[in-house]
């Protein structure tokens, strides 16, 4: 049993390293985007659309990759995903035209669709129902830490050159391919994959899958995943522009705010979330996190110095750190033999949030710098009210 526990911990560590590297690469472009956009003569809306492009391909492919990993295994998708991600970062690093940046971001979405659903399903494959919250918390911690620390690391590396963060991410992704290729076993047996292939009667279009998901028992939780991702993406995409325009914060200030928030979020996910979920249950954690975040968005508008902004931002990351694993665990417990499908749709709804959040935030920010945060608060508050009916 001890050997089995050690093996599970080793596998989780490998997946955490990979998803951490990928999410860093996704987030580290945030502090260098304004400079790149100025170089290309684009607008603030271009930043929102460029950030949102990542979610487009993730949205289209995630349902497919989740189901395919049920049929053909998790490992191959994870390896191919990291390779695609390395190619995407290289294109961004050498890009001298705006279309190349969009191509890179679209490929990043492909990589996320290939990596995240199989990883989430993998955790369900190797953990018991009792241990699943802990496994999901650790994987979510690595995702959140990478996604949020990315901007901080990007701001630091950008001091050595605007493209340095991108070349660094490319090299890290190439190294990350080695870990799953050599050390990661396949979590599904041949019999399980064969049974999953036998269950497939006919192929559905992507949009039929989304319609079916909204009629399924997972519908409310999928909507919550969308709202959670929307809120964080909405907040992060304009945070730098907001504090720069209103308070003239430097890239170093922005990096510190995001990095501290990441450390707090990861600490919560790694050390406390599983225990909090065990004590209060997934549903109460979901409701409390939504309520807290909606109020924090309004408090953010009243913060007028570096320390108050740092405090409120850290609170938002803390609440998100609680919300993500609670949702993932609740979905995984309901999924049964549909782990790949549910993980794929989970990631797909995350991608919708990643599309809508930055896109709406960019348009709203151009109209009024306070509008993205007010809109985010309203949406989160309405969602909280809806969850009061969650059974």
pLDDT digits (tens, 9 = 90+) for 300-337: 999 988 899 988 988 888 888 788 778 878 887 787 76
Q: Where are the beta strands (DSSP E) in the chain?
A: none
| 142-200: pLDDT as tens digits | 777 777 677 777 777 877 887 888 888 888 888 878 877 887 788 787 888 888 777 65
- In the chain, where are the structural domains located? 1-202, 205-390
User: Half-sphere exposure of residue 62, counting CA atoms within 13 Å on the CB side?
Assistant: 28
* Residue 266: partners with Cβ closer than 8 Å, 6 or more residues away: 141, 142, 144, 145, 321
Asked whether the beta carbons of 31 and 309 are under 8 A apart, the reply is: no
Give me Rg for the CA atoms of the chain: 20
Residue 272 per-residue DSSP state: I
42 or 234, greater pLDDT = 234
* Fold of the domain spanning 205-390: Growth Hormone; Chain: A; (1.20.1250)
| 196-241: pLDDT as tens digits | 777 654 556 667 777 778 888 888 888 888 887 787 777 877 887 7
Q: For residues 96-109, give the mean pLDDT.
A: 85
* Angle made by CA atoms 139, 85, 323, in degrees to the nearest 5: 30
* Residue 142: partners with Cβ closer than 8 Å, 6 or more residues away: 15, 16, 17, 19, 20, 23, 266
Tokens of 211: 């319609």
Q: What is the pLDDT of residue 1?
A: 43
- Chain Cα centroid distance, residue 326: 14
Tokens of 386: 């809806």
pLDDT level of residue 250 (50, 70, 90 thresholds): confident
Angle between helices 251-267 and 219-247 (to 10 degrees): 150
Q: What is the pTM of this model?
A: 0.68
- For residues 361 and 50, give the distance between their C-alpha atoms in angstroms, rounded to a whole number: 12
Q: For residues 263-287, give the mean pLDDT.
A: 78
pLDDT at position 390 over 70: no
- Give yes or no on whether 1-202 and 205-390 have one common fold: yes
pLDDT level of residue 84 (50, 70, 90 thresholds): very high
Q: For domain 1-202, which architecture applies? A: Up-down Bundle (1.20)
pLDDT at position 299 over 70: yes
Residue 269 per-residue DSSP state: I
């Amino acid at each position: 049993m001890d050997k089995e526990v050690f093996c599970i911990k080793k596998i989780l560590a490998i997946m955490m390293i990979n998803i951490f590297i990928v999410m860093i690469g996704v987030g580290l472009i945030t502090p260098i985007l304004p400079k790149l956009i100025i170089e290309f003569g684009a607008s603030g809306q271009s930043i929102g659309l460029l950030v949102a492009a990542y979610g487009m391909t993730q949205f289209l492919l995630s349902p497919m990759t989740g189901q395919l990993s049920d049929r053909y295994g998790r490992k191959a998708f994870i390896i191919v995903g990291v390779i695609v991600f390395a190619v995407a970062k290289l294109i961004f690093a050498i890009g001298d035209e705006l279309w190349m940046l969009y191509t890179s971001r679209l490929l990043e979405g492909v990589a996320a669709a290939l990596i995240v659903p199989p990883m989430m399903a993998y955790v369900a494959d190797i953990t018991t129902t009792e241990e699943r919250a802990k496994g999901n918390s650790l994987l979510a911690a690595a995702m959140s830490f990478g996604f949020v620390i990315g901007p901080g690391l990007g701001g630091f590396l950008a001091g050595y050159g605007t493209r340095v963060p991108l070349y660094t991410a490319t090299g890290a992704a190439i190294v990350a391919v080695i870990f799953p290729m050599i050390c990661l076993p396949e979590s599904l047996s041949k019999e399980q994959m064969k049974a999953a292939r036998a269950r497939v009667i006919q192929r559905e279009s992507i949009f039929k899958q989304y319609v079916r998901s909204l009629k399924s028992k997972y519908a409310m939780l999928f909507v919550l995943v969308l709202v959670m991702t929307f809120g964080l993406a909405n907040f992060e995409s304009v945070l730098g522009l907001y504090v720069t325009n209103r308070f003239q914060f430097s890239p170093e200030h922005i990096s510190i705010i995001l990095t501290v928030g990441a450390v707090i979020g990861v600490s919560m996910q790694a050390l406390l979330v599983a225990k909090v979920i065990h004590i209060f249950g997934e549903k109460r954690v979901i409701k409390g996190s939504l309520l807290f975040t909606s109020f924090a968005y309004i408090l953010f508008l009243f913060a007028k110095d570096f320390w108050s902004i740092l405090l409120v931002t850290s609170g938002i990351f803390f609440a998100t750190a609680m919300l993500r694993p609670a949702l993932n665990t609740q979905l995984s417990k309901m999924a049964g033999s549909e782990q790949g499908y549910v993980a794929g749709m989970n990631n797909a709804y995350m991608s919708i949030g990643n599309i809508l959040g930055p896109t709406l935030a960019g348009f709203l920010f151009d109209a009024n710098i306070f509008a993205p945060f007010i809109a985010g608060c309203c949406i989160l508050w309405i969602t909280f009210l809806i969850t009061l009916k969650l059974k």
